[in-house]
Amino acid sequence: MTEPHELSAVAQLDALRAGEISSRELTEHYLDRIDRLDAGLGAFVTVTPEIAMADAARADERLARGEWSPLCGLPLGLKDLYPTAGIRTTFGSAALAEYVPTEDAWAVGLLRQAGAVIMGKTNTPEFGAACYTENDVTARPAVTPYDQGRYASGSSGGAAAAVAAGLLPVAHAGDGAGSTRTPAATCHLVGVKPSRGLVSPAPASSFFSTVIEGPIARTVRDAAMLLDVLARPWPGDLYGWRPETSFASAATRPLARPRKIAMWTGTGLDGVTPHPQSVLAVQRTAGLLGELGHEVHEIAIPAGCDGPVRQALKDLFVYAVGTMAPTLVAADRRHLFQPYTQHLITAAETMTAAEVVTAQTVLARYASTFLAGLDEFDLALTPTTNGPPVPIGHYFANGVDGEADLMLGWSCYTPWVNLTGQPAISLPSHVDGDGLPHGVQLVGRQRQDVELLALAAQLEDASPWADVHPPCWHQ
């Protein structure tokens, strides 16, 4: 007999609407799996059974009246970097372990309004500052269910671990330099970073922000369903926009013509070679795209990431985290920050305004080089990560001063897309001989998210990766 979590999120919604399962039954199923399995996965910071059951009861009442909304009765996890009214939001920091906001972030509010059943907050590194998910709030790092001795990446590591292990049907995530895509790759999932402005950052507002929320899911169609809910601009958005068609319909509609796709595996970093399995992932996907009728052209990476660019990335990261963290935490609790956060704050205190502006200028030029280099192509194909999920503790080998370089060497394929504002999606490629997942990244033109999702769905139909699961899936 098929267990509820074995159905796709879209199929679960269909079952809810048809009366084949109640939201209460579905919610109880997932709460039981969280209770039994999460201790080994570190997927959740906070689980909210009382709120979830109340949400489910309301959903069942609405369904009984014949009412419907896009996520009515579907369990969902929210990333712990985003405020949730009445539910603690720690930002992955022990300094904020008891903080309970009074208002929802804009996207969180959209998910609640759509009828989602809120199961809790998924694990994240402190202030989202790392591509691994380990903090002083939870007893366990977020690990990939394929090997519980390896990180599920970050900063959406908890979301990815939960979906891959069948603790959630789909999850809310956020991506500032790869934080949705790299966790998806470590957990054999689909992760979407939308075009700049598609998902509102409200209540935040900035002339220069690389962070955008999006879905982590098992299938492209599940991701498209959640993205349709999130893609609603706040009236004050500087870059807000909406597509003319839904992502759900794009994921079921064939592409009208073949696409011209650029491909590379070079890391752009001197002395950092591409991992053989990452190369294999791209080659496999390029071959499949060719069989589907698309043109794939191997090119050199349009811009390298060494010298001034690497320094600019570090400077902007230091400035963003090092100035934001102290504003959120009272002075008498800042001693609870982790060593890496303390390191970033200290570095930010010595930065000048000129250094910040210079970093932004260097990175703007870097992003423009990518856009110009890809102008003749419809999309780009790269690995998502430079190698498999890394062992717990990997990034601590060279102390806090060495963390940034180790992280960039592994996640080097993703940050440029946040700078250009293009849409990107990480798709599963294969599981290697050690049982570890690998993913590929597809990048579309700015605001061509619909086309990107359509191509991803075409690949999914040709290579049904949703049938691959970690060992705990059947527990």
How far is it, in rounded angstroms, from Cα 14 to Cα 11? 5
Alpha helices in 329-467, H assignment, sequence order: 339-349, 353-373, 399-410, 415-420, 449-462
Radius of gyration of the chain (CA): 21
- Is residue 205 annotated as part of the catalytic site, yes or no? no
- Specify the 3-state DSSP secondary structure of 298: strand
463 is catalytic: no
DSSP bridge partners of 377: none
Give the whole-angstrom CA distance, residue 68 versus residue 18: 11
User: CB neighbours of 265 closer than 8 A, spacing ≥ 6?
Assistant: 274, 278, 279, 282, 382, 383
Listing DSSP states for 173-223 in one string gives EEESSSTTHHHHHHTT-EEEEPPTTSS--TT---SS---EEEEEESSHHHH
* Options 22, 153, 155, 278, the catalytic residue: 155
Catalytic choice (93, 156, 179, 195): 179
> Which residue in 22, 23, 79, 153 is the catalytic one?
79
210-to-6, 90, 173, 364, 415 alpha-carbon distances in Å: 34, 21, 14, 12, 9
Helix (H, G, I), strand (E, B), or coil: what is residue 122? strand
**DSSP tag of 254:** -
Query: What distance in Å separates the CA atoms of residue 216 and residue 220, rounded to the nearest whole number?
Result: 9
DSSP lists the bridge partners of residue 261 as: 296, 379
Q: What is the distance between the alpha carbons of residues 274 and 385, in angstroms, rounded to a whole number? A: 9
- DSSP letters of 46-91? EE-HHHHHHHHHHHHHHHHTT---TTTT-EEEEETTS-BTTB---T
- Long-range contact pairs involving 31-35 (C-beta distance under 8 Å, separation at least 24): 31/119, 33/5, 33/165, 33/166, 33/167, 34/119, 34/120, 34/162, 34/167
Q: Is position 156 annotated as part of the catalytic site?
A: no
**Contact (CB, 8 A) for 334 and 94:** no
Which of 289, 283, 221, 299 has its CA nearest to residue 259? 289
Q: How many CA atoms lie within 13 A of 321 on its CB side?
A: 27
**So which residues are the catalytic ones?**
79, 155, 179
